[in-house]
Amino acid sequence: MFDNLTQKLSQSFRNLRGQGRLSEDNIRDALRDVRMALLEADVALPVVKDFIQAVRERALGEEVTRSLTPGQVFIKIVHDELVALMGATNDRLDLQVRPPAVILLAGLQGSGKTTTAAKLALWLTEREKKRVLLVSTDVYRPAAMDQLRNLGRDIGVEVFPSDPSQAPLTIARDALAEAQRKVMDVLIVDTAGRLHVDEEMMREAKDLAAVVQPAELLFVVDAMTGQDAVNTAKAFDAALPLTGVILTKADGDARGGAALSIRAVTGKPIKFIGVGEKVRKGLEPFHPDRMASRILGMGDIVSLVEQVQQDVGQEQAQRMTEKLRKGKGFDLEDFREQLRQLERMGGMASLMDKLPGMGELPAEAQSALADQKPMRRLEAIINSMTPQERRHPEIIKASRRRRIAAGSGTTVTEVNRLLKQFEMMQKMFKKMGKGGKGLGRLLGMN
């Protein structure tokens, strides 16, 4: 799912990469691409419109200062809005009622209800240590009842015996009584589906719900059906008091529109996704944030942005900018502060993990970048200087260099190298102060 969407979105982010800042122009272009990508992924049009509007508003208001590029900031905004679209957190099953808690599954024929009933039963038994009873009320398809019986046997979960000659409501009532008698924690009721939305099916589901009073009434829908999934979801939501959605066949090559639209059009959370035909390992709780990161396919760039936003305080960045602007210059105290910031963020190694493409660098280059030791040595050298020396590095002549090397457990060569590097940085910052750009952004200073 989502492969195509991911590819299209990455393209639009790439187009932003060369840009210095988020402006109305480049936001417009990027939004056009995002809009196209969502429509191609089969996301419902009204949902796309609202989404684009929300991203636009945030992007225009967002400052791209500090250590981030406009592309990164834009990705973060799109990510956050995707999360909001799909529901901020994973909504767990709410089974806090007097047992047995009933889970009623509704949906079209072939959507995966029976398979999902078994998957849920297994999940609740193994993960939540619940005692579960399964029952099928699909009297129209004897094969469906057999299917559930077989699945139950495979996973070792009891299936209440029912047969096609009984009325669905009677089956449900009897199964509930049995679950109560056996002090089961959960009763999962599989219902009959139809090929299309039809009134009789809805009425039956509604009557069943009235009888068993489900703690969860879950709508099961096939992700592969795209726009139809959204329309079906609307119809079920209008007819039944749904508490959530299970999106099946998310392992297939569905374009993903259903996952992105269903929450928005029904207001009901996706609680699980089906990710395979196998009952074991075929069900996962749905996590909007993880799904959004997966859709964006941006490594873990989103958490990188969060980390930077959190760790590199805006205030500090501004202080630095002011300093440069007033021409007071960048001294060794500032340099040390930058080193510390980098270290607080987990050093280059932690940043590298989160940058897409870093994994492709040769191994030696990676380990050289990840090595924190040189940074610590630099910091040790600066620590061994007096405040006077840090503010006026030009006074550090030969004897002071020897003292600093000894004090920091380094060598005079290393002290010389640091001072040389620092001098070069200072020159660069002076240029930047006169309107230059580039490294300043990297260091969070403009």
Q: How far is the CB of 122 from ligand GDP (least distance, A)?
A: 13
Give CA–CA dist 205/248, Å, rounded: 20
DSSP secondary structure string for all residues of 417-443: HHHHHHHHHHHHHHHHHTT--SHHHHT
Specify the residue for token string 């509007």.
Answer: 53
Contact window for ligand GDP (CB under 6 A) among 12-20, 35-43, 112-120, 159-167: 112-120
Q: How far is the CB of 274 from ligand GDP (least distance, A)?
A: 2
Q: How far is the CB of 113 from ligand GDP (least distance, A)?
A: 3
> Contacts with ligand GDP in 341-400 (CB under 6 A)?
none
Q: How far is the CB of 147 from ligand GDP (least distance, A)?
A: 6
Contact window for ligand GDP (CB under 6 A) among 22-30, 89-97, 274-282, 306-314: 274-282
248 labelled binding-site residue:
yes
Q: How far is the CB of 257 from ligand GDP (least distance, A)?
A: 17
Nearer to ligand GDP (CB atom), residue 35 or residue 249: 249
User: β-pairing, 283-285 with 270-274?
Assistant: antiparallel
193 binding ligand GDP? (CB under 6 A):
yes
Q: How far is the CB of 198 from ligand GDP (least distance, A)?
A: 15
Q: How far is the CB of 251 from ligand GDP (least distance, A)?
A: 5
Contact window for ligand GDP (CB under 6 A) among 27-35, 152-160, 272-280, 336-344: 272-280
Q: How many residues belong to the site for ligand GDP (CB under 6 A)?
A: 19
Give CA–CA dist 279/123, Å, rounded: 9
> Contacts with ligand GDP in 235-264 (CB under 6 A)?
248-249, 251-252
Closest CA to 5 of 44, 45, 34: 34
299 labelled binding-site residue:
no
Nearer to ligand GDP (CB atom), residue 31 or residue 159: 159
Closest CA to 208 of 240, 166, 244: 240
271 binding ligand GDP? (CB under 6 A):
no
What mask, x for binding ligand GDP by CB under 6 A, covers residues 138 to 157? ------x-------------
User: Looking at 23, 90, 109, 411, which residue binds ligand GDP (CB under 6 A)?
Assistant: 109
Q: How far is the CB of 144 from ligand GDP (least distance, A)?
A: 6
CA 3 to chain centre: 15
CA 156 to chain centre: 34
Alpha-carbon distances, residue 367 vs 345, 360, 373, 379, 429 (angstroms): 17, 12, 11, 20, 28
The 8-class DSSP code of residue 111 comes to S
275 binding ligand GDP? (CB under 6 A):
yes
Interior/surface letters 75-94, b for 16+ CB within 10 angstroms, e for the rest: bbbbbbbbbebbbeebbebe
115 labelled binding-site residue:
no
Q: How far is the CB of 146 from ligand GDP (least distance, A)?
A: 11
Alpha-carbon distances, residue 244 vs 116, 171, 253 (angstroms): 14, 24, 23
DSSP secondary structure string for all residues of 115-144: HHHHHHHHHHHHTS---EEEEE--TT-HHH
225 binding ligand GDP? (CB under 6 A):
no
114 binding ligand GDP? (CB under 6 A):
yes
61 labelled binding-site residue:
no
Give CA–CA dist 126/131, Å, rounded: 10
Specify the residue for token string 């300093």.
Answer: 323
Any idea how long the chain is? 446
Q: Give the relative orientation of helices 363-370 and 347-354 as an angle to the nearest 10 degrees.
A: 130
Nearer to ligand GDP (CB atom), residue 251 or residue 300: 251
Give CA–CA dist 161/186, Å, rounded: 16
User: Looking at 35, 66, 76, 113, which residue binds ligand GDP (CB under 6 A)?
Assistant: 113
297 labelled binding-site residue:
no
232 labelled binding-site residue:
no
Residue stretches of the annotated binding site for GTP: 107-114, 190-194, 248-251
Residue stretches of the annotated binding site: 107-114, 190-194, 248-251
Task: Catalog residues that contact ligand GDP under the rule CB under 6 A.
Answer: 107, 109-115, 144, 193, 248-249, 251-252, 274-277, 282
